[in-house]
Amino acid sequence: MKMPEKIILRLLEDAVGKENVSDDESILIAYSRDQYWNFVPPKMPDYVVRPKNTEEVQAVMRIANRYRIPVIPMSSGVNVRGLCIPEQGGIVLELKRMNRIIEINKDAMTATVEPGVTMVEFVASARKLGLRPAVPGAPAVVSPVSNYMLRGVYHHISSIGIDHVLSMEIVLPNGELLYTGSAAFPNIGPYSRFGFGPDLTGLFMGQPGTMGVVTKLTCRMYPLPEAEEWLGAGFNDLSKAVKFVDELMTEKLLASCWLLHWSVPLITMAPSRDLQKLREDVLGGCEWFINLTFESSKGLIDYKRKAVEKIVQKYKPDLIGGPLPMEVGPIKNEWMYPRRIFNWFKFGNYFALAFWGPLTKFEEYHDLGLKFWKKHGLDPEKFSIIAAPTEPYCGKLSYIEMECFYDSTNRAEAESLTAFTSDMTNELIELGIYGWFRPYALAVKASLGKLKGNYVELWKKIHDIIDPNNTMNPGKLWPV
């Protein structure tokens, strides 16, 4: 049913209040693009709508469903990979006004939050109770709801794994409510992932806003550690570095253990653009840097450090100890989570291709990435790659990211990166990966025809049952 735009505007105003809806181009343009614009071209929505509560979200969804208007849910607005760009126009449903921390339950070790809550608010509130949530290596103003719903990588505490969601309240595309896990049961808290039957929480995760709008999310909480210490190790031999990290992960001694191409810690933590000098000064010229994070009681850390020392002795890193990148310059608190991401954009915009794979294939991923980097005429000095092995370390599970920082206004470089992404997407599937880190449009669309069995068809069928009018962020997963 096609309705005149002004009538749609009035309906939306009735739903959330006139001051919370706009179709003015000077408002819309701020939602048309993120820093990934070279890969996901800008497109303005037709409306931006800012609901305050679940009931208002339901009202908007009913309007959108009835008049077949695309809806793109957006939480805190930090959107670096094009997932909230309204490719088909429609409504950007901006959820920042839904910003209540509904509960932090110290007894249950859980918290329930709305999508407009920022990670930094969440951390500050939890800290008062001696708790902390899983904090991603992302700007601190990100939404925990979006981050957890899409599953993240929690660099400094990868020992707590990648999935922290227990249950959710979801507004479905037709405006109806779904409660997952124990949230569906009356007279009890939303504290259990598993209520009855299949894992509906899991079904709705990893989706780029294509199955509904998460309006409340209950997640796990963790105790604040008594102490935190770091140790740095440098290697020139990548093979040895990978084996060193693998053994540390297998022994489960650390809160986290990243393996980083030398440029990454210096770009993201150090205060100067003179990277080669920093490489010499801070990393002793090493090619690879490993950051080992200890967390526990002080006594336990001492014990763990002794155990780690034995592994250090076995692998004999080219560099061990400080100065660590996070101790360089005036930005020591950059290492404190939630991070302010100082310096991330010191070299321009951020490009990344991220996926899950076994740590033991890291060298192959590196070699393949560098080969195609050069093939597309990209500067090999800018090619970076990291591994963040993560619990459960079954299958040597590791987050892998190929990345660089670049001037996005340099069209030639941007086009080369686009071609690289396209090639690498195919080549990585050929080489073997566990999956994409996030449902990025470029990677997901290229993968659809390559997955075995009924994976994609079933996913599409489930989507079509839940969103038969294809109003939820259309075009992000399947061609429209």
If one asks whether residue 338 binds another protein (CB under 8 A), the answer comes out as: yes
Nearer to another protein, 234 or 338 (CB): 338
Shortest reach from residue 29's CB to another protein, in Å: 4
* Only segment of 30-38, 242-250, 384-392, 457-465 that touches another protein (CB under 8 A): 30-38
Q: Using CB under 8 A, which of 204, 288, 315, 344 touches another protein? A: 344
Nearer to another protein, 267 or 308 (CB): 267
Q: Using CB under 8 A, which of 34, 295, 401, 467 touches another protein? A: 34
Per-residue contact string for residues 87-106; x = within reach of another protein by CB under 8 A:
-------x-xx---------
Shortest reach from residue 144's CB to another protein, in Å: 13
Cis peptide before 338 (omega within 30 of 0): yes
Shortest reach from residue 348's CB to another protein, in Å: 5
Per-residue contact string for residues 234-263; x = within reach of another protein by CB under 8 A:
------------------------------
- Specify the residue for token string 């991923």: 365
Nearer to another protein, 118 or 207 (CB): 118
If one asks whether residue 114 binds another protein (CB under 8 A), the answer comes out as: no
Shortest reach from residue 78's CB to another protein, in Å: 5
Q: Using CB under 8 A, which of 7, 345, 375, 457 touches another protein? A: 345
Q: Using CB under 8 A, which of 37, 67, 185, 194 touches another protein? A: 37
* Only segment of 33-41, 175-183, 202-210, 460-468 that touches another protein (CB under 8 A): 33-41
If one asks whether residue 462 binds another protein (CB under 8 A), the answer comes out as: no
Cα–Cα nearest to 357, from 304, 309, 402, 313: 402
If one asks whether residue 434 binds another protein (CB under 8 A), the answer comes out as: no
Q: Using CB under 8 A, which of 58, 76, 158, 210 touches another protein? A: 76
If one asks whether residue 342 binds another protein (CB under 8 A), the answer comes out as: yes
Nearer to another protein, 32 or 360 (CB): 32
If one asks whether residue 418 binds another protein (CB under 8 A), the answer comes out as: no
Per-residue contact string for residues 383-412; x = within reach of another protein by CB under 8 A:
------------------------xxx---
Return the HEC string of the chain: CCCCHHHHHHHHHHHHCHHHEECCHHHHHHHCCCCCCCCCCCCCCCEEECCCCHHHHHHHHHHHHHCCCCEEEECCCCCCCCCCCCCCCCEEEECCCCCCEEEEECCCCEEEECCCCCHHHHHHHHHCCCEECCCCCCCCCCCHHHHHHCCCCCHHHHHHCCCCEEEEEEECCCCCEEECHHHHCCCCCCCCCCCCCCCHHHHHCCCCCCCCEEEEEEEECEECCCEEEEEEEEECCHHHHHHHHHHHHHHCCCCEEEEEECHHHHHHHCCCCCHHHHHHHHHCCCCEEEEEEEEECHHHHHHHHHHHHHHHHHHCCCEECCCCHHHCCCCHHHHCCCCCCCCCCCCCEEEEEEEEEEHHHHHHHHHHHHHHHHHCCCCHHHCEEEEEECCCCHHHEEEEEEEEEECCCCHHHHHHHHHHHHHHHHHHHHHCCCEECCCCHHHHHHHHHHCCCCHHHHHHHHHHHHCCCCCECCCCCCCC
Find the length of the chain.
480
Cis peptide before 474 (omega within 30 of 0): no
Shortest reach from residue 336's CB to another protein, in Å: 5
If one counts every other C-beta atom within 10 angstroms of the C-beta of residue 34, the result is 19
297-336 residues in contact with another protein (CB under 8 A) are: 331, 333, 336
If one asks whether residue 413 binds another protein (CB under 8 A), the answer comes out as: no
Shortest reach from residue 333's CB to another protein, in Å: 4
If one asks whether residue 425 binds another protein (CB under 8 A), the answer comes out as: no
- Specify the residue for token string 């022994």: 251
Shortest reach from residue 79's CB to another protein, in Å: 7
Check: CB of residue 253 under 8 Å from CB of residue 303. Answer: no
If one asks whether residue 20 binds another protein (CB under 8 A), the answer comes out as: yes
Number of residues this chain uses to bind another protein (CB under 8 A):
51
If one asks whether residue 31 binds another protein (CB under 8 A), the answer comes out as: yes
Per-residue contact string for residues 171-190; x = within reach of another protein by CB under 8 A:
--------------------
Per-residue contact string for residues 49-68; x = within reach of another protein by CB under 8 A:
-x------------------
CA distance 407 to 52: 37
Residues 41-68 as b or e (16 or more Cβ within 10 Å = b)? eebbbbbbbbbbebebbbbbbbbbbeee
Shortest reach from residue 164's CB to another protein, in Å: 20
If one asks whether residue 218 binds another protein (CB under 8 A), the answer comes out as: no
Chain residues that interact with another protein, rule: CB under 8 A: 20, 22, 24-27, 29-35, 37, 44, 48, 50, 76-80, 94, 96-97, 118, 120-121, 124, 139-141, 271, 331, 333, 336, 338, 340-350, 407-409
